[in-house]
Amino acid sequence: MTRRIYTVVGETKSTAQLGFEWAVVALSLWMVGGVHLDAWAHHQFDETLETFFTPWHGVLYSGFLALATLIVGRVVVNRRKVQSWRESIPAGYGLALFGIGLFLAGGVGDMLWHLLFGIEVNVEALLSPTHLLLALGAGLMVTGPVRSALQQQTFRWPALVGLALLLSVFSFFTAFANPLSDGQFASGLRPANLQIAATMEGQGVAAILLQTFLWLGVTLFALRQWRLPFGAMTVLFGLSSLLTVSVHQAWYFLPATFVTGLVADVLVQHWQVTQRHLLRLLAFVLPVLFYALYFLTVALEAGLWWRVHLWGGSLVMAGLLGWLLSYAFFAPQVSKDGSVGVG
């Protein structure tokens, strides 16, 4: 009988913790969505945004305040049940509290920065020091469920969504080198000026490699930590891509992202991804598939001026980068005699 009571109490605590983490995810989405909404406004009204106090900043900072209140409130409630403040911090949320402090400092600094130096335009808005401080704080907050799941050594869906939001933060602050943010790298007519064309080609390839590194890095991290259920890969890539394309309203790229996510889910479930040679094949196949669909989308939507040598080589380079990155997360196995396997 006693064991049964303890089991019920444990289940109740687990359910409460899961509910808290889903609330963290919902408010994180509010905050990160506000970041992308603010970027959309910068693109729409660059010349008229001359103040810190805009409706879009209101969405962003109200999302932050709601998320910060939830996390701090949970700590205060827990303090009544334990003997120290350290014990009152939910598992994995110590860095989230630190992120709240960083975000507050970044927000105040951002207001002063705007008053002193004006409103950032284009790439400036991504690399402004105060905006990068906001990014770091946001990243620490949205990944609270990730660290919680890691400490408990179990997969939880809020952790997966937290990783997707982290990927969206990475993608957002590298939007100047993101094919989903700017399809102009390869779309339309080839520039008449050969030097401009060569520069755009180089920027486009660099953007593909950078985003492959970020996307596959987060994906391989998740595969290393948990056995992912079906749908996890689609959520991971699809949610971050949805937020990215919303800034420029490039919705036509979404089919490529969701098809890639679904194929990844099928492969993860069908293959024994604990076998490292299959993980390496997966890391090669996914970027090749996605960017093949990406170039097809560009060709259908606005025309593709890159020649087959360039876009074909970009696919190979992206696949090779994914394959190499898999070795950073899944080192080659060493046999008892000291020999290193190739897988």
Report which of residues 309 and 81 the model is more confident about. 309
Quote the pLDDT of residue 59. Answer: 92
Arithmetic mean of pLDDT over the chain = 88
Q: How many CB atoms lie within 10 A of CB 76?
A: 10
Q: Select the highest-mean-pLDDT range: 21-25, 52-56, 190-194.
A: 21-25
pTM tops 0.85: yes
Quote the pLDDT of residue 7. Answer: 35
Quote the pLDDT of residue 4. Answer: 38
Mean pLDDT for the stretch of residues 72-84: 91
Q: Is the pLDDT of residue 12 over 70?
A: no
The dihedral formed by the CA atoms of 256, 63, 145 and 108, expressed in degrees to the nearest 10: 110
Determine the distance from the C-alpha atom of residue 226 to the mean position of all C-alpha atoms in its chain, rounded to a whole number.
17
Report which of residues 123 and 157 the model is more confident about. 157
Q: Select the highest-mean-pLDDT range: 109-113, 114-118, 190-194, 258-262.
A: 258-262
